[in-house]
Structure formats: C-alpha cells, structure tokens
Chain A
Amino acid sequence: DSGVTQTPKHLITATGQRVTLRCSPRSGDLSVYWYQQSLDQGLQFLIQYYNGEERAKGNILERFSAQQFPDLHSELNLSSLELGDSALYFCASNTGEMNTEAFFGQGTRLTVV
C-alpha cells in the first residue's frame, strides 16, 4: 500500500458526461500528480500541484481540469467525455522536493460508453 488513495476504483459513464476523480496523497506529501494511461498513448503526465498551486502542466485537454484543496487532496474533473477518454487515471504524490520518487495510487479505471 503506497498510502495514496484514489476513488472511485471503477467508473462507467456515457459520452458527454462529466466525472470527478478524487485523490488523497500520502501523509506529509505536498505534491500531487495526475496521469492518464491508455493502451495507445502509454503513461501521459497531465498536471501537478504543489501545496495547492499548479506547478506543472502536461498533456491535459481543455475539457479536463484539476485542483488541490487546502487539505491537500486533489480532484480531477473530466467533462464532455469521449470514448477516447477511457483509460486508467493515476494519482501520485511526493513531498514535492527534488530527488524524491512519486508514489502511485491504485488508479481509477474510467470507461466511457
């Protein structure tokens, strides 16, 4: 158990809908990362937050947004869902300092039908 908690574990929704994925980082970690993993795109970095502020942005679509709250949990919002958004979404956390690896949650498997 990495200490990173993601909910829900599975999500099935229809095209055009909006969903929210939730992540609680490890105790003491200030930084949260969101990743998307699909069969054709591999592991794609979406966005990083550090202590409530956006720190880095990767290949995140405009239909997607995220935030980190004062209690350091984070939410990833996916809207106007398309079939191609079906993927595993991982959250990872670390202290945010350099030279520290990230610890991954179990992921949320999103299926858009």
Chain B
Amino acid sequence: ELKVEQNPLFLSMQEGKNYTIYCNYSTTSDRLYWYRQDPGKSLESLFVLLSNGAVKQEGRLMASLDTKARLSTLHITAAVHDLSATYFCAVDIIYQLIWGAGTKLIIKP
C-alpha cells in the first residue's frame, strides 16, 4: 500500500524559532509537492520538487527531496505568525497524488 507519512502532525512553536517538517513515502517517486492550507481555505502550491537532491526556497521556507531515502523536508527559518497553516506533502505516482495527513503549524507571537 502506498503511504505518505508526515511528522509531526501538529506543531506549536514560538516566533523566531527554526523547525523541520518531515514527509516520508513508501514507494519510488522523484516528484513531490508541498502545499499550504489556511483554515477553511483552498490549498496553495508551495514547492515542486522533481529530482533527487532538489532544493527550493521561498522566503522563510525551504524544501528538499531525497529520493533514495524517500524523504522530503520542509524547513522553517525564524518562523513568523503568518506562516501558521496546515502544510501537506503529496507524492506523484503515475498521475495520482498521494497525500500526507498534513502538519498543522501554529506559530505564537
């Protein structure tokens, strides 16, 4: 069975701290996406990672992909309150996206 596991599922942190969200998956894929969702809102694409070793950065967020370890990370640097949201990873398997359960991130001022 294809599985995509995110951890932690819930994270509460203080502004200014750094933290990493992990996304492990159980099958071979070299395509992975990160999305952000605000409460009651739609999902917004953050990063598209298309090869082993891919690293992308946008502001305080950086995503990386290690296809050999079947692991992607989303690193948050010097967190700010506006980054509070739920973050999902999704693995691309032959035209399907297999989704993680999401990590709910709360950043306290």
Task: Show the binding face of A for B, using Cβ within 8 Å.
Answer: 2, 31, 33, 42-43, 45, 48, 50, 55-56, 58, 88, 90, 92, 96, 98-107, 109
**Residue B88, interface by CB 8 Å:** yes
**Residue B105, interface by CB 8 Å:** no
Check B95–A56 contact: CB distance below 8 A: yes
Shortest Cβ distance from B48 into A: residue: A101
Check B95–A43 contact: CB distance below 8 A: no
Interface size on B, residues (CB 8 A): 20
Shortest Cβ distance from B88 into A: residue: A43
**CB within 8 Å of A: which B50-102 residues:** 50, 88, 92, 95-99, 101-102
The CA-CA distance from A14 to B66 in the complex, in Å, is: 47
Task: Show the binding face of B for A, using Cβ within 8 Å.
Answer: 31, 33, 35, 40-45, 48, 50, 88, 92, 95-99, 101-102
Check B99–A43 contact: CB distance below 8 A: yes
Check B41–A106 contact: CB distance below 8 A: yes
30 contacts between A and B (CB under 8 A): A2-B42, A31-B95, A33-B97, A42-B99, A42-B101, A42-B102, A43-B43, A43-B99, A43-B102, A45-B96, A45-B97, A45-B99, A48-B96, A55-B95, A58-B96, A90-B43, A92-B43, A98-B31, A99-B31, A99-B92, A100-B48, A101-B33, A101-B48, A102-B33, A102-B45, A102-B97, A103-B45, A107-B41, A107-B42, A109-B40
